Amino acid sequence: MRFNASVRRDVIIVIAAVLIGGLYIALAGGNFPLDDSWIHQTYGRNLAETGEWAFTPGVDSAASTSPLYTVVLSAGYKLNIPFRLWTHGLGVLALALVGLIGARLAAMVAPDRKYIPLVAGLALVLAWHLVWAAVSGMETMIFCLLTLTLIWLSWRELEPRSQTVTHVALRGAIFGVIAGLATLARPEGVLLTGLIGLALLIVRPNMTWRNLILWGGAAVICFGIVLAPYLIFNLRVTGGLLPNTAAAKRAEGAYYLAQSYLWRVGNLLTPLAAGGQLLLIPGMIAYAVLLPRKRASILYALLLVWPVALILLYAETLPLEIQHGRYLIPSLPGAIIVGVVGMGWLLQRTRASLIGRVLVRGLAASAALVFALFAVVLGLQAYVQDVAIVNQEMVASALWIKDNLPASDLLVVHDIGAVGYFTQRPVLDIGGLISPEVVPLIHDPAALWNLIHERGGMYLMALDTQIPGGDIHDPHLCLKFTTGGTAAPRAGSSNMKVYKLTWNGQC
């Protein structure tokens, strides 16, 4: 049985995604590199078991930044599928689909370059940031998949399509549903939705004004229907449209927000530059320069405009470069596709020049080598280390608390994920994610200690930098447990500790 070129390409991309994802999962023992991953598991499990949108059963909470991911995880619990298998399986599947859609986008914008779709797809599934995201237990890769799907749907409108009322409305409705799901995966999905809507309004591909209004109206209605339940829930619980995490993260990033805007942009770009994508920058520039000067190219430009817009948005609102720039990882798929396509165009343009040919081919080969090096060595090492830190610090502390502290004693904690999942006890979150009353006090240690006292806090679980005021010798603290993990100190952090709290200075 013979397969055509596109099927062979897809098979290669899927196999590469499964192999690299499986390698990361196996070498890290199937666990997660972020405490936030355990927050998602806690929400997903509680939704499946109690039907409540809550971190602590019985207490409504709007701290999940990705309600779509909560629902997806809860389905695994409902089906009694081991949660690690379900979570990692979904991540690797999303990574493979990102590679497949990325290959199709590359083929659409560069139909005369036969090898570019395969290279683009492989670059996506071997980009270590994307592999890390796929097996992180976070919503990031599902959001990447939905954003590329939205761009693909908009590009398909450039092809001859049926212009009957039914077909136009149906295509608009499908786009609206996907846009709503993308926004439920990450709130910034609304930014891409707006960019695509504006581009379609300008390009008006194969549509009369009547059909464009019909398409847009169907999209807006379905977008609103998908979002409405979660927005109503947020309004009821928090009084706003966004979850608690938005205010808490902005409070955490106060230092960054005080810096100049250009500094913030550079700070966000620094962790994203670690990988082969850095060597694709000439290709990204070539893509911007060599795109045909016609109205339809506005839609093709979305692959480049979207990553730039996302970075600029985060520089303005939440310029945190933490955890390998995980908030900006969704900017990478578009940038990588653009870089690969642009590099292909450069290779074509420089064939007649010996110097140009050598330079561009050397750059392309170097980029491929760096992608591979980070995928199977440096990125893999970073992932394994991240998982080890979470296991040795957050998970180990949570298990000790479960076995040694009365569930009736109020626990004060900053990293709430593993504690929430393994102990299932009420906590006072001094990070402010599920305790929004903490947010105004995050930078006021005295007021925060007063709140802890008023609430009857009995124990504190924290890294050295998470103690209110940052004083490890604070008289409120009586050390009861330290993890003794090795990975965190090697990475320049401290061990997690559990303290009995005292209010008279005597332990």
Beta-carbon count within 10 A of 403 CB: 9
* DSSP-assigned letter for residue 87: H
Tokens of 415: 């990293």
Torsion, Cα 11 14 19 24, to 10 degrees, reads 170
DSSP 409-432: SEEEES--HHHHHHH---EEETTS
pLDDT for position 52 = 86
Residues whose CB is less than 8 angstroms from the CB of residue 224 and which lie 6 or more positions away in sequence, other chains included? 176, 180
Q: Where are the domains of the chain?
A: 5-383, 384-501
Q: What is the largest CA-CA distance in the chain?
A: 81
Distance CA 111, CA 441 (A): 56
pLDDT digits over 5-39, tens only? 788 999 999 999 999 999 999 999 999 999 999 99
What pTM value is reported for the model? 0.94
pLDDT digits (tens, 9 = 90+) for 339-369: 999 999 999 888 888 888 889 899 999 999 9
Distance CA 495, CA 73 (A): 30
pLDDT above 60 (res 474): yes
Q: Is the pLDDT of residue 2 over 60?
A: no
d(CA 363, CA 429): 48
pLDDT tens readout for residues 148-193:
999 999 999 998 888 888 999 999 999 999 999 999 999 999 999 9
Rounded Cα–Cα distance for residues 252 and 212 (Å): 43
What would the pLDDT profile of 115-155 be if each residue is shown by its tens digit?
999 999 999 999 999 999 999 999 999 999 999 999 999 99
Q: How large is the angle between the packed helices 281-290 and 332-349, nearest 10 degrees?
A: 70
320: three-class secondary structure by DSSP: coil
Q: Beta partners for 478?
A: 500
CB atoms within 10 A of CB 173: 18
C-beta neighbour count of 443 within 10 angstroms: 12
Q: What angle do CA 191, 196, 201 make, to 5 degrees?
A: 130
